[in-house]
Amino acid sequence: MTTPRRRFLAVSLTASLPLVLAAALGAADSVEIQGSAAHQTIDCKATPRVVVSGKNNDVTLTGACEKLTLIGTGHSVHADGLREVELSGFNLRVEWVYALTGSEPKVTDGGMNNRVVKVAARTAPDQGGNPAGVGDDGQPLTAAGASAVVAGHADSVTYSSEVVGINGAGLRESYDCAGKSFAISGSGHDLTLRGSCDRVTVGGYGHRLRIENARVIDVGGSDHTVLWVGGPNGRPEILQHGGNLTIRQITADDFAKGEP
């Protein structure tokens, strides 16, 4: 008798090596993301089972995911729909919008200091109970991009699906957000993000960030100083799951002067 073989795709990622595997993902029902400080978006319609291992990976899952498994430390995952989550490690964070069955996904946590949290869709669910822009199959109905009025700006901001990954050590740089997201890892960066960012995700160790405006600031890792001016409705959504963090608001004048 022939035993069926499960199709499985393992992908090794680094921050400097982007993943371009659309055709390969379409041929497998599972995907594993390995390595450290990777930033990737996975379509669960093509690969409904996702494994993330290594450390400090930042992953976005679109559509309806059957099972998410996290192994290692410092991962951050945002998922549209989830049925089951299995955690093995520490300082892991999973955000989900809706559960495929029941009121929440099934969670098995075999680690420490891990969080699985529900986050709201940007607008209300439709009459079928799906988050806005998500169909019955869990797939987005519209392209990415939402608008919001940001403090200090008269015009609305269109958020982009683009994510800028910053790794390494000791960078001193200034970036124009232009609606993009930033994923910052490594150690000892001194960064200024000007304009309006979508989501700023911080991992690693010992960064100093000055952010003019952001929709979400998500800070993990340790020993960071994050200074911000504003966001939609005057302030960003701030998520903290690290240690020894300083996160506080500064004035627009101080930001313009390069202070504090």
Instruction: Please report the DSSP string for 168-210 in residue order.
Output: SB--EEEEE-TT-EEEE-SB--EEEEEEEEEEEEE-SBS-EEE
Residue 247 and residue 157 share a domain: yes
- In tens, the pLDDT along 216-243 reads 999 988 899 999 999 988 899 998 887 8
Residue 70 and residue 170 share a domain: no
Number of domains forming the structure of the chain: 2
- In tens, the pLDDT along 71-96 reads 988 888 989 899 999 999 888 889 88
Which of 64, 98, 118 represents a domain boundary (last residue)?
118
Residue 106 and residue 162 share a domain: no
Residue 88 and residue 153 share a domain: no
Confidence at 258, pLDDT banded by 50, 70, 90: confident
More confident call, 12 vs 180: 180
In a domain, 198, yes or no: yes
pTM: 0.48
Structural domain boundaries enclosing 32? 9-118
- Whether residue 153 is predicted with pLDDT greater than 80 in this model: the reply is no
In a domain, 126, yes or no: no
In a domain, 135, yes or no: no
Burial of 37-56, coded b for 16+ CB within 10 Å and e otherwise, reads: bbbbebbbebbbbbbbbbbb
Residue 69 and residue 153 share a domain: no
In a domain, 64, yes or no: yes
d(CA 215, CA 24): 33
In a domain, 128, yes or no: no
